[in-house]
Structure 1
Amino acid sequence: MPRDRDNEALPAGPRHVAIIMDGNGRWAQARGRPRLFGHHAGARRVREVVEACPDLGIKYLTIFAFSTENWKRTQVEVAGLMSLFRRYITKEMRALKERGVRVRFIGDRVRLDPKLIGLMNQLEQETAQNDLVHLTIAINYGGRDEVARATRRLAQDVAEGKLRPEDVDEETLPRYLDTCVLPDPDLVIRTSGEARISNFLLWQSAYAEYEFVDTLWPDFTAEELARLCRNYGARERRFGAVKA
C-alpha cells in the first residue's frame, strides 16, 4: 500500500493523476516579479511532484504545460516559456533517466521550434526504457484539437479501406488520440482556485474525479498531493451504476 511522507498508510489512490498547473503568473505578480519568474518557480515544483509519485502509488502523471490557447499571450511570455521548456529538458534529462521516469509529450508539435522538438524527441528516446513513473507533458495541447487531429487520422484510414465506418465506436477513437498508450486519468487536479477544465483531456477525463484547489502551482507541495490522493481514495466511484 502506498505511503505518504509521514509513513502513514494511504487508502487506494489514483494510478493516473493529471494536473492543470495554474497560477504561476499570479504567484510572481504577488511578489512584484515578472510572470516568467513564476513559470520558472513552477518548473521547479514539477520535480518535487514527480519524485513524490512512487510513494503515493501514482504510476502515470500528466501535466498541462502549454495549451493551444496560450499562443494568445504576449510574445515575451511565449518566447520565455519556450526557452524554459528547452532549459528544463536539457537540465532534467539525466535526472529523469536515472530516476526511472519515462517521459512522453502530447500535443501538436508542428508549431514548435525545431530545437525544442529535437530535445523533446531526445528526452523521449533517452527515457524510453524507464517504467517507474510515466510523465506525460502536454505542450501546444488542446483537447478539441487532439480530437480533431485524431478524427482526421481515423477518417483517412476509413478512406483508405483500413477501417470500416460501421466498426467505428467509442473504443475506436482513443486509439488515434495522443494518449493512446496511456490509461485514462483517475484524478484531475487544477490549482489556483479556478474551477474549469480549460480544454484538457476532454475525452480521457469523462469519468475522472476532479479536485479544484486554491493553491497557486509554485506553492503546491507533495504533501498536498498526498492529501488529494487520500480524498480520492475515500470516494465511491460508480461509473454510472448504483450501489447494490
Structure 2
Amino acid sequence: MERPAAISALEQQVKLRALPRHVGIIMDGNGRWAEMRGLPRLEGHREGSASVREVTRVARRVGLSALTLYAFSSQNWARPAEEVAGLMDLLREFLVSEYSEILDNGIRLNAIGEVDKLPRFVRDPLERLRVDSAHNQGMVLTLALSYGGREELVHAARQLAHAVARGEVAPERIAEQDFEAQLWTRGLPPLDLVVRTSGEFRISNFLLWQMAYAELIFADVAWPDFRSEAFLRCLQQYQQRERRFGLTSAQIQVEETQRAKA
C-alpha cells in the first residue's frame, strides 16, 4: 500500500521541475493481470478503472495541462463480444460516477476517436459530461475511444482532400499546421510524454502523428497496479531527460542560459 506522506512528498518534488504539457498513457495489461490471478478478464478492467481515477487525480494535483488515456482502440471491437460489452458498461459507470468530481475539480473532459460507434448508453453520459465541463479551465482529460492513430490520419487526409476539392486550399500550400488542424487532437498541447504499462514495447496505433517528439517510457507494471507512485516516477524520469528537438546539447544549454538572463 502506498504511504500518503511519501506520495505527497513525491508530488511536491515533481512540481519543482518542468512538467510535460501533455501526457498520453497506453493502459495495457488489464486482462493479463486478471488471468494471472485466476480471475475473469473483466475484473482486470474493473481494477484498471481504479487506476484511471487515481492517476487522473494525481495528474490534476501536480498541475498537468492535458492527460490522454487510451481507453478503447478501434481494434478492440474485435475482442469477444462479452468482453466488449463489459468494457462499455465500465466506461458508462466511470462517466456517471466521476461526473461530480470532474466538474468540481475544474477538469474538462474530451474524447477522440470514432465516438459515434459507441453504444447510445455510453455516448449519452459522455456527451453530457463533455458539454457540462466545456468551460472548465483546469486539466483536459481526453479519453481515446474507438480510437486508432492510422484511422485519425486517414480522417485528416480526407478532410484536407475535401478542402482541396472545394478550392479552399492548394495542395502545394498545405503545411503541417493545416494537417494538425484536421486531427482529433486539435487544440490540445503538444504531446511530450507517452507511457505504456505492462512491459510491452509497442505504441499500438496510438497518437502516431503527435508522438513525433514525445518521450517514451515503458513501465514494467500492469495497468491495474499502476497507481500514484508509479505515475509520479514516470514524470520524474521525464524531468531528468534532455529535450533537444534535433538540436545539440550545447545549443540547448545556450538557449537555457539566454532564457535565464532574460
* TM-superposition CA deviations, 1:69-118 (whole Å, max 9, x none): 11111010011111111111111111111111110000012322223222
How many residues align structurally? 242
Give the aligned partner of residue 38 of structure 1: 44
1:232 equivalent among 238, 242, 245: 238
Give the aligned partner of residue 260 of structure 2: none
Give the aligned partner of residue 71 of structure 1: 77
Give the aligned partner of residue 98 of structure 2: 92
Contact 2:27 2:71 in 1 (8 A): yes
Q: CA deviation at 1:4?
A: 6.0
Q: Could you tell me the TM-score, scaled by structure 1's length?
A: 0.95
For 1:74 and 1:14, locate their aligned partners in 2 and report how far apart those are by CA, in whole Å. Answer: 36
1:82 equivalent among 78, 84, 88: 88
User: How many percent identity over aligned positions?
Assistant: 46
1:58 equivalent among 64, 75, 80: 64
Q: CA deviation at 1:234?
A: 1.0
Contact 2:23 2:194 in 1 (8 A): yes
Give the aligned partner of residue 209 of structure 2: 203
Query: Which range is displaced more, 78-87 or 51-60?
Result: 51-60
Larger helix proportion of the pair: 2
2:196 equivalent among 175, 190, 193: 190
For 1:4 and 1:173, locate their aligned partners in 2 and report how far apart those are by CA, in whole Å. Answer: 41
Q: Secondary structure at the match of 1:196?
A: coil
Give the aligned partner of residue 121 of structure 2: 115
Contact 1:108 1:141 in 2 (8 A): yes
1:6 and 2:9 aligned: yes
For 2:246 and 2:59, locate their aligned partners in 1 and report how far apart those are by CA, in whole Å. Answer: 29
Which structure 1 residue ranges, 5 or more long, are not aligned? none
Which structure 2 residue ranges, 5 or more long, are not aligned? 1-5, 251-262
For 1:231 and 1:55, locate their aligned partners in 2 and report how far apart those are by CA, in whole Å. Answer: 18
Query: Which range is displaced more, 231-240 or 109-118?
Result: 109-118
* TM-superposition CA deviations, 1:212-240 (whole Å, max 9, x none): 01111011111111111111111111111
Contact 1:18 1:61 in 2 (8 A): yes
* TM-superposition CA deviations, 1:12-60 (whole Å, max 9, x none): 2212110000011111112211001110111111111111013333111
For 2:60 and 2:30, locate their aligned partners in 1 and report how far apart those are by CA, in whole Å. Answer: 25
Contact 1:15 1:60 in 2 (8 A): yes
Letter in structure 1 aligned against 2:236: R
* TM-superposition CA deviations, 1:150-188 (whole Å, max 9, x none): 111111111112222122122211100000010121110
Contact 1:100 1:133 in 2 (8 A): yes
Contact 2:67 2:142 in 1 (8 A): yes
Contact 2:63 2:139 in 1 (8 A): no
Q: Could you tell me the TM-score, scaled by structure 2's length?
A: 0.89
Which one has the largest radius of gyration? 2
Give the aligned partner of residue 259 of structure 2: none
For 2:36 and 2:96, locate their aligned partners in 1 and report how far apart those are by CA, in whole Å. Answer: 29
Which stretches of structure 1, 4 residues or more, deviate above 4 A after TM superposition?
none
For 1:143 and 1:64, locate their aligned partners in 2 and report how far apart those are by CA, in whole Å. Answer: 11
For 2:196 and 2:98, locate their aligned partners in 1 and report how far apart those are by CA, in whole Å. Answer: 24
Contact 1:4 1:55 in 2 (8 A): no
Q: Secondary structure at the match of 1:140?
A: strand
For 2:43 and 2:13, locate their aligned partners in 1 and report how far apart those are by CA, in whole Å. Answer: 36
For 1:175 and 1:168, locate their aligned partners in 2 and report how far apart those are by CA, in whole Å. Answer: 11
For 1:109 and 1:226, locate their aligned partners in 2 and report how far apart those are by CA, in whole Å. Answer: 30
